[in-house]
Amino acid sequence: MTVASKGSGSRRTVRDVVFVEGVRTPFGKARPDGIYAHTRADDLAVKAVRELLRRRPELPTERIDEVALAATTQTGDQGLTLGRSVAVLAGLPKSVPGFAIDRMCAGAMTAVTTTASAIAIGAQDVTLAGGLEHMGHHPMGEGADPNPRFVAEKLVDSTALVMGATAENLHDRFPHLTKERADAYGVASQAKYAKALANGDVTPDLVPIALRDPQQGWGLATADELPRPGTTVEDIAHLKTPFRPGGKVTAGNASPLTDGAAVSLLAAGDVAAELGLPARMRLVSFAYVGVDPEVMGIGPIPSTEKALAQAGLSIEDIGLFEINEAFAVQVLAFLDHFGMPDDDARVNQYGGAIAVGHPLAASGVRLMTQLARQFEQHPEVRYGLTTMCVGLGMGGTVVWENPHHADYSGHTTDASTNAEN
């Protein structure tokens, strides 16, 4: 802990927080015949934690100060204070605490920013943060009992609690965001994911998961189950519109129901240097903002504006974007607002959730892990961001700095070259 004395007490000095490593399971179909139909949700997170520790043997496990894990539906095999229960199941020292967190789709993102805040003020040095969602075992909203006052007192529109319906509302609010544009975006996501997979940009982040099926026996999940390579606009043009007759949201331009987990390792910049851990990204700023729940997909717009303002940056300073593709229309609304083309090369270079899936509370760390890899490939880019819309009308954004850039301002092992941000 870094402290500086002042008066009768002491003040902590804000420290750099760096993203050291991120891993995820292969993502599976949330169906009775999906790869994880007979796998426990918490075991997915356990495997991710163990893989993080395997990859970073220089980290003494007793140095881990917190395990924060998110899930949107915290019951059954993804309940019981996930952070603590997964820490114990993964074999961490009993001295390592943990907790569960919920901000629906931004659960893992919130786990990261919450523990990063503790690191920044010196209360913690090293944390594990992530999320999991087994939507096959626990469909979104399972067991929930929304207060009838939401609708009875017209606090929200009746569509606000159905995410696909909010995407249809977004199409209504911005009619220039057509189904044709959404379908084209969905097809492009599939193509970009297929290219990234072929280029070797996806598999290195995956944790193989042992499987057991009562009918088929043992197996090993090593690849994402959901992508549909070769998809064309013609293939998806006439898919059903499940949220509204004659609507615009289909399985071709929306993320599928998904099972999976993702976990990251965070550390203070000076602690990472002490332990020999790599700094793959530095956290610059973050913001969460509320919007009308009926059009929750616009959430990333104000959260990005707020995060950029806090960092003293503009949208032109961002060289790489990882935007969660809950629905294509939500990404298109973001791009239009900031004057970016639908096929902007800076956006979702490896494809997105429309192709790979969206296991709700896990997706935030998938975005971060992919951005970290893209930073390595693009040292000319100094800043990137991860952003997502969030159920019940919210948006979340995290701005990151690339340590491979020549003007990187974060902690370095040579204190004399550590510039002020």
> CA-CA distance, 342 to 68, in Å (whole number)?
35
Residues belonging to the chain: 421
What is the pLDDT, as a whole number, of residue 217?
Answer: 87
Look at residue 105 and give its three-state secondary structure. strand
* Distance (Å) of CA 14 to CA 56, 118, 221, 274, 359: 25, 10, 41, 17, 33
What is the pLDDT, as a whole number, of residue 413?
Answer: 54
> CA-CA distance, 197 to 153, in Å (whole number)?
49
Q: Could you report the per-residue pLDDT of 7-44, keeping only the tens digit for each?
A: 456 677 899 999 999 999 999 999 999 999 999 999 99
Angle at 117 between CA 351 and CA 392, to 5 degrees: 55
Any bridge partners for residue 364, and if so which? Answer: none
> Phi and psi for 230 in degrees, rounded to 5?
85, 5
For the chain, residues with pLDDT lower than 50 are 1-7, 414-421
What is the pLDDT, as a whole number, of residue 224?
Answer: 98
Residue 217's contacts (CB-CB under 8 Å, 6 or more residues apart) are none
Token couple for 150: 């939401």
* Residues with a known catalytic role: 105, 358, 389
Are the C-beta atoms of residues 258 and 357 closer than 8 Å to each other?
Answer: yes
What is the pLDDT, as a whole number, of residue 420?
Answer: 38
What is the pLDDT, as a whole number, of residue 151?
Answer: 85
Q: Could you report the per-residue pLDDT of 258-309, keeping only the tens digit for each?
A: 999 999 999 999 999 999 999 999 999 999 999 999 999 999 999 999 999 9
What is the pLDDT, as a whole number, of residue 9?
Answer: 62
DSSP 27: P
Any bridge partners for residue 3, and if so which? Answer: 12
